[in-house]
Structures are given as C-alpha cells and as structure tokens.
Amino acid sequence: MKHGTGIIKEVFLDGSAQIDCTTDLIPAPGQYLLAHAPASDSPIADSVFFSRSTANGFIAAAPLPVFWMPGISLSLRGPLGHKFVIPLTAHKVALVAFDDSPARLHGLISLALEQKSEVVVLCDSKTSGLPEVVEIQPLQAMLEILEWADYAAIDVARENLNQLLEKLGGWDQPKARCEAQVLIRAQMPCGALAECGACAVTIHHQWRMVCKDGPVFELNELLFKSSRECGSF
Ligand code: FES
C-alpha cells in the first residue's frame, strides 16, 4: 500500500474522471484507493474504483464527489482490498452489474480478452465504450448466463446484496462449475485504518469489513449465509 498524489485531468459526463498518478497507486479491478482532496471541506476520504487504463493513470468509475474538477490535487492511499481474479482456465466470462453501470467491471474485459475468453456483460443500465466482441444482455438473463459462464464477476451495493442472493437462490453453483466473485460496494471512510465499522456486513454470523476482507468476496462464501444475516450499521 502506497501514499501519493494524483491529479484530476478530466471529468466526464457520466461522472467518471481521469486521474493521473504513478503506476504503483493504480488499483486492479475490484480494488480501491482512498482519495481525499486537501482543498475540500470534507474530512472524509472517498473510495475510488478502477474502470479503465490511461497513459498516465486510470479512469475512476462514477460516482465521484461532485466538486472534483480538472486540476484538483488528490491525496491517495492504496491500492486497498482484494481484487477480482479471473482463473486462467476461464474461457466464458460473465460480468454482472447488478444495480449500477458495469464501470467497475470494465477493467476485467481486456484481461478476459487477453486470455481469449468470451465476455458477456449483464446490466440494465446504458453502456458505452465496450468492445464490439463483448455481448450485452439484460439482468433478466443472469441465471441463464451463469449456467453458461465458467467465471462471473458481480458488482452489487451492500443494500442490494440480499436481493442478489435471493435471485441466485435457484442457481446450483457447484453443478454449474462457475467460479464467481462479488464486489460489495459500501462506504469505506477509513479503509480499515480506524476500524470504524462503517462498511460491516455479517457473513456466517461474523462481522466482516468490506474495506479489508473485501471488497471482492467469493460468492460461495456469501451464499452460505441466510439473507437475514446481511446487515449494516
Ligand atoms: S471503512 Fe472503516 S472499518 Fe471499513
């Protein structure tokens, strides 16, 4: 984990932003940085997820603070947390944006294509900038695509985790032989530094911190818990 400085080079209409920084600060897909604009009034750092590479840094996925403008300097800490890992044997990759755009999953597309995998993106939001070889399907097709895939990366907000697990209730993951990982999005103001608990979820009756134990979890670890166990402060 590093500390450093980033510069916002451009802010895009969809709310994403280009951040220039040294390569050792760039998070892998699924990981995050804590970013704080020293010039702002906010005492809290924001978590920033990788979307795409650029020549001098990366595109950070929306949403980002509305006051972030080109030229603003950021104090960065990271990369933090567990990243997505596509198994080398995976040739059919499903990227599931359960309740938002697929921006945080975008970085996996080039990794999957490098290992000659087919890629399907599932989402109900508008998509742009996806390579032509990538197939786009509505979320309604999720169970069907998970039967096809041998690896799935899923992006979901903590408050929608129960809903995701309920929808996956009818899916026999071991039979389908699909490895799956879930990025749980939650507010992560301290990134495990102060153990503030703001990002807690319960898994197997145990509190887990999204900032430290995640934000990417194995799906089979989550499927064992009952939906009522999933809580937050
Ligand atoms: S963000 Fe503080 S413990 Fe996770």
Q: Which residue out of 190, 202, 217 has the highest number of ligand 1 atoms within 8 Å of its CB and is therefore the one to mutate?
A: 190
Q: Strands 135-137 and 118-122, how do they pair?
A: parallel
Nearest Cα to Cα of residue 35 among 70, 84, 72: 72
Q: What is the reported pLDDT for 175?
A: 66
**pLDDT tens-digit profile of 13-46?**
999 999 999 999 999 999 999 999 887 777 789 9
Residue 22: left (phi > 0), alpha (psi -120 to 50), or beta? beta
190 C-alpha vs ligand 1 centroid, how far in Å?
5
Atom number in ligand 1 closest to CA 188: 1
Q: Could you tell me if 44 and 58 are in contact, meaning their C-beta atoms sit under 8 angstroms apart? A: no
Q: DSSP strand E in 24-164: where?
A: 32-36, 46-54, 57-60, 73-80, 92-97, 118-122, 135-137, 151-157
Lowest mean pLDDT among 56-60, 97-101, 229-233: 229-233
Mean pLDDT for the stretch of residues 156-170 = 90
pLDDT, tens only, 81-109 = 999 999 999 999 999 999 999 999 999 99
| Ligand 1 atom at minimum distance from 186 CA | 1
Residues 77/21, Cβ–Cβ less than 8 Å: no
* Closest C-alpha to 16, from 54, 71, 65: 65
How would you write 131-169 as a 3-class SS string? CCCCEEECHHHHHHHHHHCCEEEEEEEHHHHHHHHHHHH
Q: What confidence score (pLDDT) does residue 230 get?
A: 40
Task: Give the per-residue pLDDT at 192.
Answer: 82
CA 62 vs CA 41, 104, 140, 154, 189: distances in Å:
21, 9, 24, 17, 17
pLDDT band at residue 173 using 50, 70 and 90 as cut-offs: low
Domains of the chain: 2-80 (2.40.30.10), 92-229 (3.40.50)
**226 has a pLDDT exceeding 70:** no
DSSP 16: -
Q: How far is the CA of 12 from the centre of ligand 1 (A)?
A: 29
Closest approach atom of ligand 1 to CA 189: 1
Closest protein CA for atom 1 of ligand 1: 188
pTM of the model: 0.91
> What residues pair up with 218 in beta bridges, in sequence order?
181
Q: State if residue 211 touches ligand 1 by the CB under 6 angstroms criterion.
A: yes
Chain centre to alpha carbon of residue 155: 5
Q: What is the position in ligand 1's atom list of the atom closest to the CA of 194?
A: 2
> Nearest CA to 223 among 169, 178, 145?
169
> Residue 19: what pLDDT?
98
Give the whole-angstrom CA distance, residue 215 versus residue 192: 12
188 lines ligand 1 (CB under 6 A): yes
The CA–CA distances, whole Å, from 226 to 161, 162, 166, 221 equal 11, 9, 9, 11
